[in-house]
A and B are shown apart, each in its own frame.
Chain A
Amino acid sequence: MSAKGIFVDANWCTGCESCILACQQEHGYSEKEFGVKVFKLGPLHINDEEKHFEYDFLPAFTEWCDLCEERTAKGKKPTCVQHCQAQCLDWGPVEELAKKVTSRKQYLVGINE
């Protein structure tokens, strides 16, 4: 069986952190446990003249992430994917998701090894 994973399109992640809360609520986690955490990159001064900054939010997945096994078994999306306000997360077989990775700000994590 092929590995499943999560695709992140960080071109659009606004850092709203809904994903963290969605995950905690679904799994009954406390504030100290989370399947996903959001890191801030920048703002980096790429070109000040042009006001070109690199400023991104990057979700990363922890060992508490079980890819929402229970939900997906019932045909639902993982809760972070559903609730992401920027709709910048996706999930599925990594081979499928890999096709979506076309830019520096897009990445893939395989979770069900």
Chain B
Amino acid sequence: MSPTAIFRKYELQNYIVYLGFIAIFLFFAVTLHDAGFTSTRNLTNIILQTAPATIMAIGLVFALSAGEIDLSFGSAVAVSALSAAVVMQILPMPLAILAGLGAGLAIGAFNGILVAWLRLPSFLVTLATLGLFAGVARTMTDLRSIPVTNSAFTGFFGSGELLGIPSLVWWTIIGVAVGHVVYRHTRFGAHVLATGDNARAAQVSGIKVPRVRFLVLTICGGCAGLAGLLYAGRLQAAKYTLGESDLMIVIAAVIVGGTALNGGKGSIIGALIGSLLMGMLNNGLILMGLQVSDQMIVRGLIILIAVAASLRDTSR
């Protein structure tokens, strides 16, 4: 067996993310011990801060696995959070939740229709809708931030706890569990992978390829909607800037987590670890006292290395 075959057989590329995770954790644990990196509070904080990115990453795993991409989720997050916040000011809270999720799903479905049935490339479609809905988010409230004061909402999506576990951790666990089961253990998940792997083979095997493409982009929108609610709940406000800077981090988390950029292969658990890794990186660099500009440079470089390492196998 050739080295690449062995590499593939034991799915070693999937372990790179775990090794990287442990290496970076140990590095920060040693160098930033006095700065409190390993304190329970700080570690919990990392998970809380990454919750929205993890949810977005789950959606992106589905899109990439089907051979599509979504670049617009950052804008969808802002539109969803603002929709929920605005509706909450005049209508009961459950309707605000529906408005937030509905906005995300609608944006995803809009992308999905253009990609699935008009056969436009998802890269271009979602690049365009990224800009389009960023504009929508800005005009919705004239750049103003909308406070979210409903304590039931902020508890449910932000600062609350159940059985001693913070609600944002619950959302992460539920999102990853549901995402993983759908991705690995349902016919839909199998059809997503087959579509991204070989769309023609999927088609001649009776898989409804356009429907799969539509659904993965709609799922991305739905995940962005949920991420928007989580941001609004945690920050107790919604603003057009929410989600704006998540694009690179979420894509990096997903790729580092073992999902192929060109479809047919991926991992929800990997995306979770990738997302936590990005959050840990962010947190460590801040604790190191780096300037924002330096943080951006270091983070960019580390993402580059991580992505290169995880793509080594698939770049053949």
A and B from one complex: no
Interface residues of A (CB under 8 A from B): none
